[in-house]
Chains A and B, each alone.
Chain A
Amino acid sequence: MTDDLIFWIIVVLLLAAGLAAYLVVKRAQELPPAEEPGQLPQQPGKVPAEPEAEPGLEVPEAAGSRLARLRRRLANSNNALARGLADLLSSDRIDQDTWDDFEATLISSDLGVGPSTELVTTLRRELSIEGVADPVKARDVLRRELVTLVNPNLDRTVNTTGADGRPGVVLVVGVNGTGKTTTVGKLARVLVAEGRTVLLGAADTFRAAAAEQLTTWGERVGVETVRGDEGADPASVAFNAVDRGVQEGVDVVLVDTAGRLHTKTGLMDELGKVKRVIERKAPVTEVLLVLDATTGQNGLTQARIFAEVVDVTGIVLTKLDGSAKGGIVVQVQRELGVPVKLIGLGEGVDDLAPFDTDGFVAGILGE
């Protein structure tokens, strides 16, 4: 038995290593240079605009009050960072330990080790120049630095306007359980509230009852859903949805995809295909990556790989109403230059709001 066990190790090791070498090497040799990301027309959409009419069955909430709620929610949750800052400012003598604690607090909001360390360094320098005595000033410095980190200059409008009379196509992607279907449903409500015609494409043919879930969302606001059989090729469902969208002349087609871990190469290829196939009918105007606010540092890897495959143009940060701060988006934005465009705030049907840099920072600071 011992012999066997060891024998197995050797066989498996040899074969696996050999095969790995074979494949990796071959692949590396054959791999063509990465495709240039397609240029998407960057016309400002109209999402954050004031919603007026409600052609649906339910009346979606106005964007303005959503923002207020975001601020409140972010500020409400027990705020370690604000406390950390208060500690920092209230201590008579700021020593290494105080700074370490503060850095630790930043790390606790999933900001990542790199950005946190940088932020602390900058803050230290600024404070040593301007003097620590004034807590208000210190807070301002911190706010300024945070705002710089989040970068308010990025275009954060969701691009839902198609060219040449074709519908705008929004593709929603992400790993399992981040809230893609819910985001699509909420986004449909926002668009309906703006008086635009929407068609949903349920390209999540994998998860049980995902299409039903999306249909339920659509029915609430009187939006139709194009769906395929369970297990059908998601690309074909997406194609049909966009095709119908073109024929019926709707304004926006929202395509929901199945959750997939970025490590599954096969599934990522499938996603690439979904996008390619859609683009035969109409260009995809927006690819939204849905990230869960509770996600830790893995979020960066996720974003990077999704961006490689489908050229992500915006991020939706969901479940921001919990105790998690979603600090990971700061890193994602910095690393990939993909801005956060929307935030999900909770379980309510209208809990989706445009991202607002100042509001987000104010929330983090507990103001």
Chain B
Amino acid sequence: MFDTLQDRLSQTFKSLRGKTKLTEADIDATTREIRIALLEADVNLGVVKEFIANVRERCQGLELSQALNPAQQIIKIVNEELIAILGGDTRTIRFAKTPPTVIMLAGLQGAGKTTLAGKLAHWLKSEGHSPLLVAADLQRPNAVNQLQVVGQRAGVHVHAPEPGNGVGNPVQVAHSGIEVARQRLYDVVIVDTAGRLGIDAELMQQAADIKAAVNPDEVLFVVDAMIGQDAVNTALAFQEGVGFDGVVLTKLDGDARGGAALSIAKVIGKPIMFASSGEGLKDFDVFHPERMASRILDMGDMLTLIEQAEKTFDQEQSKLAAEKLLAGKGQFTLGDFLQQMQQMRKMGPLSKIFGMLPGMGAMKDQIANIDEKEIDRVEAIIYSMTPAERADVTILNGSRRARIAKGAGVQVSEVNQLVTRFVEARKMMQSMAGGMMGGGMPGMPGMHGMGGGAQRPKKTQAKKGKGARKGQSGNPAKRAQTAQQRPAAADPAQAFGGNAQPTEAEMQKAMADFQLPPQLQQMLNQQTKGPR
């Protein structure tokens, strides 16, 4: 069962891998798969057709490059097309020359407007603005109330002169909200309107009236990432009825992957400005088309991951831990494991983090099933050990294990399991790290750069073909490692000249090839087939 575009396309390309030529039949097969994948990801049919036509045209006119294998070429094309549709560039709020800047939210019921209003206000506040929320949703029972609570959580004032529940005139409320903002010097006004259906002419007129009354600088169309084929109809109806300047995609933390985003961006041509992914006020970000495209293409969302890691990880500690890991033979202790695990947890729910790893698409189910409490238990067990035991698991004899189990409130078998798993995981991490180092491991084709040339001629070709950019991103991986390990070695940076810091796009290219090492994948596959 392929439930996301990402899985589907990677499956398609798997069968394409290893071919040196792209025949007409290949193109047919590929485009067919892409079509189904896009449709199952809820991309609008018309958009799919156009997309496929573009991809096909580019595939046919394609000079088969010596450097890239066909799969990579198609990935590149699809990726570029996706980015082109998703907006190509990002844009944030345009602020009015004379405050207040007025932002109006519109959308279907249950798209997440009120929640988003809070998030937007929170974000604006953190950017140094003073936003005012205006409760113009007088339709749904207690929407006003909800906005007040949300405003309170975000630490933002709420203008709510009417109690709602069908009482009051939203146009007047919106209008008076602007007045209040002007008098009290709020520089941004966010007008939350009632959810409405595209076909409800009366409510559409009301939204248009609100718009006319407040003359917003930005009208944001809030849309649920889970929406199906109807996305385009709805967006068109709102575009005609109210007119909007930007799109906000909500509920991106689910596993529906924005087919709607593609459709709306393509058909309406308005940029997707924000992405909202979670229930907390902070689960809100500027929309990144490149990231969305790479997520769709099973490249994982490494940049977000790295960004978060940089924010939360203690650099020194992690460096130390990585060095220990590379030093091999029991240097990486349970204590280090605990430390790293805790830091990783700070980045958010583990399922979310793992989901961002490239190549994890196949293991989505297991990832979603990860129980955070499991980690609590692991922590408890490790905490119940003495420092000496944490440093060297081999000294754990029966009586020590019994004591630890008692201390952590678990069965001895769980302690045993932890130890075995830890040793296994360590071994695996070491071999992965070793693979990156020596270049002999087939595990990380994308990461070992030029080192693996001998074993993987095709990949090496790819490296050369993409030229300096490719080498740049592939190689530093090795360089970082080499630098740590053998500081005396010649500076590998010479290999690619005084390069600048890799850009986002380049980084992503490097990630494109990355896959989980086979042994890990094998291990996971094995296990999941077993006891379940």
Contacts of A2 in B (CB 8 A): 476, 499, 501-502
**Which of B60-68, B179-187, B363-371, B450-458 interfaces with chain A?**
B363-371
Interface status of A35 (Cβ within 8 A of chain B): no
Q: Flag if B42 contacts A322 (CB, 8 Å).
A: no
**Cα–Cα, bound, A266→B483 (Å):** 41
Q: Is the interface of A mostly helix, strand, loop or mixed?
A: helix
Interface status of A362 (Cβ within 8 A of chain B): no
Q: Flag if A5 contacts B501 (CB, 8 Å).
A: yes
Q: Flag if A14 contacts B433 (CB, 8 Å).
A: yes
The 8 A CB mask of B268-286 against A (1 = contact, 0 = none) is 0000000000010000000
Q: Flag if A107 contacts B432 (CB, 8 Å).
A: no
**Cα–Cα, bound, A263→B354 (Å):** 13
The 8 A CB mask of A252-294 against B (1 = contact, 0 = none) is 0000000001111110010000000000000000000000111
**Which of B22-30, B82-90, B103-111, B287-295 interfaces with chain A?**
B103-111
The 8 A CB mask of B320-336 against A (1 = contact, 0 = none) is 01100100000000000
**Cα–Cα, bound, A113→B33 (Å):** 12
Interface status of A42 (Cβ within 8 A of chain B): no
Q: Flag if B146 contacts A213 (CB, 8 Å).
A: yes
Contacts of A324 in B (CB 8 A): 228-230, 233-234
Q: Flag if A216 contacts B165 (CB, 8 Å).
A: yes
Minimum CB–CB distance from A156 to chain B (whole Å) comes to 23
Interface status of A68 (Cβ within 8 A of chain B): no
**Cα–Cα, bound, A30→B413 (Å):** 11
The 8 A CB mask of A290-304 against B (1 = contact, 0 = none) is 001111111111100
Minimum CB–CB distance from A20 to chain B (whole Å) comes to 5
Interface status of A104 (Cβ within 8 A of chain B): yes
Minimum CB–CB distance from B176 to chain A (whole Å) comes to 22
| Tally of chain B residues near chain A (CB < 8 A) | 114
Which residues 119-165 of A sit at the B interface, judged by CB distance below 8 A?
A: none
- Given A28-B531, A265-B369, A296-B229, also A323-B153 (CB < 8 A): no
**Cα–Cα, bound, A108→B341 (Å):** 45
Minimum CB–CB distance from A266 to chain B (whole Å) comes to 6
Q: Is the interface of B mostly helix, strand, loop or mixed?
A: helix
B40, closest chain A residue (CB):
A297
B516, closest chain A residue (CB):
A17
Contact among B36, B226, B375, B424 for A295, CB-based, below 8 A: B226
Q: Flag if B149 contacts A1 (CB, 8 Å).
A: no
Q: Flag if A10 contacts B141 (CB, 8 Å).
A: no
Minimum CB–CB distance from A67 to chain B (whole Å) comes to 20
Which residues 49-93 of A sit at the B interface, judged by CB distance below 8 A?
A: 77
Q: Flag if A261 contacts B499 (CB, 8 Å).
A: no
Which residues 303-325 of A sit at the B interface, judged by CB distance below 8 A?
A: 319, 321-325
Interface status of A232 (Cβ within 8 A of chain B): no
Contacts of B344 in A (CB 8 A): 15-16, 19
**Cα–Cα, bound, A185→B502 (Å):** 55
Q: Flag if A322 contacts B230 (CB, 8 Å).
A: yes
Contact among A33, A175, A216 for B251, CB-based, below 8 A: A175
Contacts of B481 in A (CB 8 A): 10
**Cα–Cα, bound, A299→B224 (Å):** 12
Which residues 349-380 of B sit at the A interface, judged by CB distance below 8 A?
A: 349-351, 353-354, 357, 360, 363, 366-372, 374-375
Q: Flag if B226 contacts A175 (CB, 8 Å).
A: yes
Minimum CB–CB distance from A35 to chain B (whole Å) comes to 13
Q: Flag if B421 contacts A298 (CB, 8 Å).
A: no
Interface status of A18 (Cβ within 8 A of chain B): yes
Q: Flag if A262 contacts B367 (CB, 8 Å).
A: no
> 5 A-B residue contacts at CB 8 Å?
A7-B322, A10-B480, A12-B309, A26-B374, A301-B256
